[in-house]
Amino acid sequence: MSRFSALVLLMTALTAGLPAQAAEEEPAPVYEIVGDEIHSGDNGDWIPQGWSGEFSLGGAGVALSRPSFKFGEYTGIEGAGGYAVANGEFRYFKQDRTFDLYLDNLGLDNRKVALDYGKMGQYKVFGQWDQTPHLLFSENRTPYQGTGGSRLTLPASFTRQPSFEGIPLPASNPVALKVDSRNEAEVGLQREIGRNRFDVSFNRIEKNGIRSLGGTIGNSPGNGMGIVLPAPIDFHTNEVRAAFSHTRDNAHLQIHYFGSFFDNRQDSLVFDVPYTGLLPFIDNMNPVALGPIPAQGRLSLEPDNQFHQMRLTGAWDPSTDTRLTATAEYGMALQNNTLFPLAVGTGRALLPRQTAEAEIHNLLLQLRATTSITPRLKITGKLRRFQTDNRTPRQLFQPIVNDTGTQRPISSDQSVFTFPVEYSKNQGDLDLSYQLLDATVLKLDYRLLHTNRDFRAIDNSFENRVSLGATSNELEWVSVTANLSFARTDTDGYNFENVRALRNTAQFLGSPAGPLLASPADFRKKDLAENNRYQTALNLSFFPTETLTLGLSHHWVLQDFTEQALGLKEVTTHSATIDINHTAGDAATHYLFFTYDVNQVSQTGRAHNFLAPGSINDPNRNYALLLDDDSYTAGAGGNWLLFDERVNVRADYSLSKNVSDFIFNAGSDPFVANPAGLPTVKTLRHRVDGSTEYNVSDAMAVGAQVVYENYAFDDFALDTHPAGTVIPASNFPVTNGELITLSNPIQDYEAWTGMLYVTYRFRDR
């Protein structure tokens, strides 16, 4: 802390030595009437020219009750310590030239620098550098060497075991899971020539760090053994944007190109398998077989890809009350990485093709027309088509399960097809907007959305939506926005067997194993199923006095899936907010808000397996889960200018509390009967932020800020399994394998941050 104090003193001394600019109050305008003319006596120089802006320098110290990545999740502050405060904005304007430079958080890992320079109406050049860290987990442990690379090895001293349950893992190393930084740099140019404008920009994004990725060996119903791996993040993306715009009095045309080139420098992760022995695995339709656990496994990481997009947008105003806009957009996502062998350590001769040849094209056509039929009635029509065209070859691949099993040629009974999934959405909208009074608008919308999907259990779905809305600012003391909508999604029939038929060969489906691997016939996937969706929204703002605003809002959404017996049944969300804002001129502002959110998800399932014949149709094996997720969010604070605006005091408090309960009900079958709830998932976060700034002069201010934050998080999935331990195998319904963890529970913390800084403001005339 002594270095920190010295830094603050140095900053203060340096800044105090800067010349303070005394800005006298401008004299009141002087009128002079000569004949019929008024003269203001002003020289016409009404706009300040030259430099203006401010910069702040200082230091901050952080005290944490214990290190927790959640405290510095996006700022990069990993523990107690200090950092420099350095922010600034420098603006220049002279006649038609502008220059802006913005500096943010230079002393932290989430720093940003942005600048632009231009001549108005002619050109602008700009650039920025933006850094964003993302801490993912702290206090992680792994037995592996070589973290951050594409090859994870176990030390020679590591003894492989058939199971580590009850056996301490030797030599577990600490490893930090985080995106060290997401660096984005951008440069660009805008050029205007008459009615034409050219834009071009280039940006490069680099993401480096380590994340967690599940690595598994074996497969259900055998002992799927697993270990969570530290996987590299080594992403590099170059992007180009170019646009040409032409504007006429009543028309506008723009052509836009976007190219994105993603390069992952680590295309796979090969890891030593910590387990040894024999492992049962299922080889698709074959009975369970025993095989040796392989020495290594390989995960594919995200492949390199390219995306090219051309967009043509046109707008035409045939009259002052009518506007037509049209957009045509064509995009291509391409990926052609060399494919890995089916199992680590083998060749690629048995692959049906050597490279991915993956290609998805997308097309958007959109036409919108809006016109005022009468001065008060406006009608808007929209036709829209968005489609994807997946040109990736559909081929049979031999299923080698997690590097176990024997690599064999493609066979008609054991292989599965890839799905080059694609879809299209055709949409028609008709909106009527009627200006009832000067500041009251009523709105009626109708939408028809037809979605067509390939390789899904439903080919076509149709959504009909009607919504009513109103906005009124008619009365001085109240402003109202209300919306009510209903949407119904119908389908042309659900048939999951179609998908299985496309996925598998006829020989497999005709085998004894085929029907056993199906889902219950009365189950629906949530993104496809028929449903009703009701939605209301109400926002009220009252203005009892000129300085006070009282806001009330309520949002409610109910989506029910009444036609299905199993799957998602109902989702309900409520959000109610009260807001109070008070402004007493520039001297004081106060605010208070409270939001109560409820999110309830009801879903059902059936615990079936082929060890109990007929269980797939047995309602006694049904169970229901209700997620009751309540959130309480509050904030309060104010800003006060005191002592003739010499002192600026600010205080903010925020609270976020989330409570998620999981409540089960089940049928009478002993397999599911008498279920027990899961522990509540909870978050509680308080934050108090107070600051004081003293204006030493018009040009200089000194400030102090104190932030207190208290965070607590409970999650049963993490809390029961600390880093580097083993989640034991379960014998329900049959043994499933154990898992070696990597990440620790999320650490609760209390944090104090103190900050001292000096701000210098400047302004030429």
Partner 1 sequence: MGSRFLLLWVLGLICLLPSKSGAGSLPWGELQADLRGAPSIADSGNPEDETECLLCHKPYIEKFSTTRHAQVLAASHPGKLGSACETCHGPLGRHLKNMLAEKKKSPNSVQSKPGFVFSFKNSPAASKNRVCLQCHESAERVLLWRGSLHDNLGISCDKCHVVSQRRSRQHLLASRDPKKVCFQCHRDKRSKMMRTSHMPLREGKMTCSSCHNPHGGNGPNLLNESSINLTCFTCHQEKRGPFVWEHMPVRENCANCHDPHGSNFRPLLKQKLPFLCQQCHMQVFHPGDLYDGRKLGGTSRLGGKSCINCHSQVHGSNHPAGAKFQR
Give residues 116-155 in contact with partner 1 (rule: CB under 8 A): 120-121, 130, 132, 134
Would you call 600 helix, strand, or coil by DSSP?
strand
Site string for partner 1, 370-399 (x = CB under 8 A): xx------x-xxxx-xxxx-x-x----xxx
AA letter at 147: T
Q: According to CB under 8 A, which residues from 258 to 317 bind partner 1?
A: 260, 262, 264, 268, 297-300, 302-303, 305, 307, 311, 313, 315, 317
Site string for partner 1, 159-198 (x = CB under 8 A): ----------------------------------------
Distance CA 329, CA 216 (A): 41
Helices and strands: H and E segment counts in the chain: 5, 37
CB of 210 to partner 1, least distance (A): 15
CB-side neighbour CA atoms (13 Å) of 320:
2
Based on the shown chain and the rule CB under 8 A, indicate whether residue 458 belongs to the binding site for partner 1. Answer: no
Residue pair 91/99 in contact (Cβ under 8 Å)? The answer is yes
Which of 593/694 has CB closer to partner 1?
Answer: 593
Part of the chain binding partner 1 (CB under 8 A), chosen from 11-19, 146-154, 166-174, 210-218:
210-218
CB-side neighbour CA atoms (13 Å) of 90:
11
CB of 410 to partner 1, least distance (A): 11
Distance CA 236, CA 230 (A): 19
Would you call 379 helix, strand, or coil by DSSP?
strand
Provide DSSP, 242-278: EEEEEEETTEEEEEEEEEEEEEES--EEEEE--B-SE
Based on the shown chain and the rule CB under 8 A, indicate whether residue 638 belongs to the binding site for partner 1. Answer: no
Please report, for residues 377, 428, 576, the alpha-carbon distance to residue 373 in angstroms, rounded to integers and kept in the order given.
6, 20, 37
Single out the residue of 50, 170, 318, 544 in contact with partner 1 (rule: CB under 8 A): 318
Residue pair 363/347 in contact (Cβ under 8 Å)? The answer is no
Which of 8/342 has CB closer to partner 1?
Answer: 342
Based on the shown chain and the rule CB under 8 A, indicate whether residue 25 belongs to the binding site for partner 1. Answer: no
Single out the residue of 11, 356, 702, 755 in contact with partner 1 (rule: CB under 8 A): 356
Site string for partner 1, 460-489 (x = CB under 8 A): ---------x-x-x-------x--------
Single out the residue of 296, 147, 174 nearest to residue 231, CA to CA. 147
Single out the residue of 206, 359, 563, 698 in contact with partner 1 (rule: CB under 8 A): 359
Which of 438/644 has CB closer to partner 1?
Answer: 438
Pairing of strands 278-281, 50-64: unpaired
Who's near 155: CB < 8 A, 6+ residues apart?
143, 145, 171
CB of 489 to partner 1, least distance (A): 14
Based on the shown chain and the rule CB under 8 A, indicate whether residue 88 belongs to the binding site for partner 1. Answer: no
Single out the residue of 144, 235, 757, 762 in contact with partner 1 (rule: CB under 8 A): 235
Tokens of 55: 């910069």
Would you call 461 helix, strand, or coil by DSSP?
strand
Q: According to CB under 8 A, which residues from 514 to 553 bind partner 1?
A: 516-520, 523, 525-527, 539, 551, 553
Which of 387/697 has CB closer to partner 1?
Answer: 387
Part of the chain binding partner 1 (CB under 8 A), chosen from 5-13, 167-175, 206-214, 690-698:
206-214
Part of the chain binding partner 1 (CB under 8 A), chosen from 270-278, 598-606, 698-706, 748-756:
598-606
Q: According to CB under 8 A, which residues from 659 to 718 bind partner 1?
A: 660, 662, 664, 666, 671-672, 675-679, 681, 683, 685, 713, 716-718
In the block, residue with structure tokens 């080059």: 420
In terms of residues, how long is the chain? 765
Q: According to CB under 8 A, which residues from 402 to 431 bind partner 1?
A: 402-403, 416, 418-421, 423-424, 426, 428, 431
Residue pair 567/529 in contact (Cβ under 8 Å)? The answer is yes
Part of the chain binding partner 1 (CB under 8 A), chosen from 80-88, 143-151, 363-371, 748-756:
363-371
Tokens of 707: 């932030």
Single out the residue of 211, 139, 208 nearest to residue 174, CA to CA. 139
Single out the residue of 47, 156, 166, 194 in contact with partner 1 (rule: CB under 8 A): 47
**Which strand (E) or helix (H) includes residue 499?**
helix 496-503
